[in-house]
Amino acid sequence: MSTLTLKIALTPLLILAASWAGRRWGEAVGGWLVGLPLTSGPIAFFLALDHGTDFAAAAAAGSLGGAAAQACFCIAYGRAAAALRWPFALALGSAAFAVSAAVLQTARLPLPILLPAAVAALGLAILLLPRGRLPSFDALALPRWDIPARMIVATALVVGLTAAAPLLGPRLSGLLATFPVFAAVLTLFAHRLQSGAAAQQVLLGLLLGLFAFTGFFFALAATIDRAGIAGGFAIAIAIALAIQGCSLWVMRRVRSGR
Instruction: At 85, give phi and psi (nearest 5°).
Output: -75, 165
Q: Which residue has the higher pLDDT, 84 or 258?
A: 84
> Over 60: is that where the pLDDT of 139 sits?
no
Radius of gyration of the chain (CA): 17
Alpha-carbon dihedral sign for residues 44, 184, 20, 129? positive
> Over 50: is that where the pLDDT of 193 sits?
yes
* Polymer length of the chain: 258
Q: What share of the chain is helix, strand, coil (3-state, %, to 5)?
A: 85, 0, 15
Q: Which residue has the higher pLDDT, 16 or 121?
A: 121
pLDDT band per the 50, 70, 90 thresholds, residue 224: very high
pTM of the model: 0.81
